[in-house]
Structure 1
Amino acid sequence: MDFLMSGLAACGACLFTNPLEVVKTRMQLQGELQAPGTYQRHYRNVFHAFITIGRVDGLAALQKGLAPALLYQFLMNGIRLGTYGLAEAGGYLHTAEGTLSPVRSAAAGALAGVMGAYLGSPIYMIFPPQSWKVALAAAMVSGIAVVLAMTPFDVVSTRLYNQPTDAQGKGLMYRGLLDALLQTARTEGIFGMYKGLGASYFRLGPHTILSLFFWDQLRMLYYTYTK
């Protein structure tokens, strides 16, 4: 049940934050492998991109890819939050004196995150009740560092996934992750590695808050009506 509630909580957050994922993807693909200043910028920033996509392509375009995104969130965060919840319920996060151990909590969160990301990644390729407050504070503090560190890999992952190919798999622009990183850095410079940075960070905060809030509320309801 912990995994189900965690997955549903992540899906609830995804409904609100998926438009920012669409904006981020559009910005990351803009001017792909073109030197700065040599192409027309359709999206100047995250807010301009949001408005432009909604005006030109329609509001429904802001929810493109919602179905695989929901499945991905259900699996990844369902496993991540569910595993953390089981560790918490089993008392593994507390010391012998009954106090919450930051080291154990961090270790459990890291292990749960790795498991969720690993088991949920194939979907991406095909396209106590108050404890969440501690996790939320940690997530918000580390959010900037996480986004700065992961954005270059997010950019090239988006491009690898969206690169055109023929039926025989020929004509690929990139031979792999490292080749995509090198080509992007060589042609677009350091700023090309951070396209969509604003959308990534604006999505991280609301998604983290909503996921943990919905998770907390679902657990409270479940434990209230099952006791």
Structure 2
Amino acid sequence: MMDISDFIIGGTASVCATYFTNPIEVIKTRIQLQGELSARGTYVKPYKGVIGAFIVVARNEGITGLQKGLVPALYFQFIINSFRLGLYSTAVENKWMHKQNGDVSFPLGLLWGAFGGCVGTYLSSPFFMIKTQLQSQAAKAIAVGHQHKHTGTFQALRQIYKQGGIVGLWRGSTAAIPRAGLGSGVQIATFGKTKTMLRDNGWVTQPTLNSFCAGAIAGSIMSLAITPPDVITTRLYNQGVDASGKGVYYSGWTDCVVKIVRSEGLLGLYKGFWPNYLRIAPHSTLVLLFYDELLAVRDKYFR
């Protein structure tokens, strides 16, 4: 059986976390676009390190520049995590991811996490694209990547729909699915398994601290797995399009990988790793912590 409140709580938990982590997401996006399709050492780097990037953005765009793309980020996070965590909770409650002896199965956790992530990512794809494009918009002196002329979330939705219809709104969505499946599967499976391991071995038994530690470990592992597909997704979503609606830089996922490796080397796929890690680890921790705490409140007062 599915409980709709599991889905609502999953989305709400993510929205709470996004307010704290969106600034590092802005930095991550800028660094991933910096030096696009240029060999190392041949381009100007306005963003030199995570701390330096924060200073540069704040100096050129003000503190509010660090919250660019917040509105579509909130929509994206609510949609993806309502499905991702809602399906995870449903699988746990119905023991769909347990072995016969009652232990949580890592492979089944990986499967359900990936499935929920893929469904949520596809449905929220337009907001992810707009989030990326708004976060990349910068003052001329520090602009990187293609600069879109959006003035807001819903103006961007209307403009993209006018140019490319429904297909335009979901441009790049199939490329985002591998990112979501890999990242979500690793995070959800690691979170569930780690919670059980910490509790059963008596290492961390206090519920809130158990969730916090498991979330931190899951987020750290997730950041290692997700950075290359995250770079590819950022590039595909942010590229400009020609009159026919086709990307001006990349024709798809494979083309993007090949061009990045050829021009930027393998390390090009790990651009923005540290801001990605600094975003994913706390975001994962906060989302999963908020999720468990909200579930506890629901079970205590509303059941």
- Shorter-chain TM-score above 0.5: yes
How many residues matched? 224
- Give the direction of change, closer, same or farther, for the CA distance of 1:36–1:195 in structure 2 (3 Å limit): same
The equivalent of 2:105 in structure 1 is 102
TM-score by length of 1: 0.85
Matches within 5 A, 1:57-96: 57-94=61-98
User: 1:6 Cα shift?
Assistant: 0.8
- Give the direction of change, closer, same or farther, for the CA distance of 1:144–1:132 in structure 2 (3 Å limit): closer
Of residues 29, 46, 53, the one that matches 1:42 is 46
Corresponding position: 1:218 with 2:218: no
> How far does the alpha carbon of each residue in 1:67-97 deviate from its partner, in whole angstroms, 9 at most, with x for none?
1111111111111111111222334445666
The equivalent of 2:259 in structure 1 is 183
Corresponding position: 1:173 with 2:249: yes
Partners of 1:32 and 1:59 lie apart in 2 by 26
Unpaired stretches in structure 2, ≥5 consecutive residues: 132-190, 196-210
The equivalent of 1:192 in structure 2 is 268
- Asked which structure has the greater RCO (Cα within 8 Å, sep 6+), the reply is 1
Partners of 2:250 and 2:288 lie apart in 1 by 37
CA RMSD of the aligned region, Å? 2.7
User: 1:148 Cα shift?
Assistant: 3.6
Taking only the aligned residue pairs, the percentage that are identical comes to 43
Structure 1, 178-187 or 106-115: larger mean CA deviation: 106-115
Structure 1, 132-141 or 26-35: larger mean CA deviation: 132-141
Of residues 224, 238, 256, the one that matches 1:162 is 238
Partners of 2:266 and 2:26 lie apart in 1 by 22
> How far does the alpha carbon of each residue in 1:136-161 deviate from its partner, in whole angstroms, 9 at most, with x for none?
66665465554344322221221221
User: 1:123 Cα shift?
Assistant: 3.2
Of residues 253, 261, 280, the one that matches 1:204 is 280
User: 1:116 Cα shift?
Assistant: 2.9
- Give the direction of change, closer, same or farther, for the CA distance of 1:164–1:208 in structure 2 (3 Å limit): same
- Give the direction of change, closer, same or farther, for the CA distance of 1:172–1:109 in structure 2 (3 Å limit): closer
Partners of 2:247 and 2:219 lie apart in 1 by 37
- Give the direction of change, closer, same or farther, for the CA distance of 1:105–1:116 in structure 2 (3 Å limit): same
